[in-house]
Structure 1
Amino acid sequence: MKHFLLLCCFWIATCAVITAQTTIKVPVENTIKTPTDDSIVIRSDHSFKEWTAIAGIRQWDHTFIELGAAYMAGNGSRCAFGYRYYGIGLSADYNPFDRRGGLHLSGWTNGFMGLIVGGDINTYTDFHSYNLGLKPFIGLDWERRFTLTYGYNFQVVDNNLSGINGHVLSLQYRFSLKSSREKI
């Protein structure tokens, strides 16, 4: 039950952040006249699309080194509260001590004060058997480059593979490969 409540809270937070990324209409009094109506539309002052390389480390009981690629896009302006954006990534990680490898397909969004929420579909193998898991995560993001997240792996397919972290603390750095910005 505890995990179900955690998953529900994660889902609600993700929906709230995605909903908050829409265009905001602020009604004003009739002192400001516009050609179409009596409201001001606040829009982002730029959008971006970016491909990045991911380098990171995942740690709890076992250490995994991570390498991958990510695509990020956003329509938020740079302000005191940070960027609004979403991203998807594909990465591989490896534990050279226990000889375990994994693949991750991740999605995340950032919406307020550097808070990042997302999810991860992952599979781990010792090259004889495998596990399949889902990992919701939450953490902090700094300038779309550094992320520090905490997540928990829920095993969907469990083949008694040892050496896999249940709790995961992840530190990532994203290197920009290709970036584009445009005014809206």
Structure 2
Amino acid sequence: MSKINRSLEAVWMEQLALMDVLKIAAGSGVVAALVSSIITWIKEGRQRSAQRRLEAEIDAIHLITRLDALAVACANNYWEFHDRWSQLRGAEHAHDIGCAKPELQIEPEKLAKIDRVLACRIAWLENDVSLGADGIRARWEAYLDTDEALDADADLVGHFGYEALLISRSLRDKYKLKFQGMQWGMPTIEKQLTECSERSKEFFKEKG
């Protein structure tokens, strides 16, 4: 009888050992699956983040090109205006001329993926300059000082270009986009636009 009991006990112990092994194996499989899922989720998250970063960089390059071109156009329009005005000042139709403000044409989707603060600065830039032009116009209508209004309007166009340069530089810094080529004439353009911006701010400070 004791031999039978010992045999039963041995069988029972073997079954318990087998169950323990199965539990460990099952537990290891769950843990492995969980770890694998976490690793996959992290990897996919990094890939999505890298993709978003790449798309933002591509849009930033496009925006920098537009903003730099706008700055150049503002400087050229400023110089052209003063060249024409110096020839026509005092003539009958001298006050019919003005400094043309270039348009900043940027598709809204180009602002969707870049830094939000910079996107806001770009989106509001045109509106800020339009408000400034309204202020100059109101000042001219009140005091009929056409010369001052024309000067202020030209400086405002220069300020428009200066702000475009600042945003362009911020985009380069944000996305680590370094331009290695020759920047033909840009130091002269930046110097002129900076002077225009300072005079424009001073005008609105004094007249505000």
Query: Relative contact order (C-alpha < 8 Å, sep 6+): which is higher?
Result: 2
Same fold (TM over 0.5): no
TM-score (norm 2): 0.23
Higher strand share: 1
TM-score (norm 1): 0.25
Greater Rg over alpha carbons, structure? 2
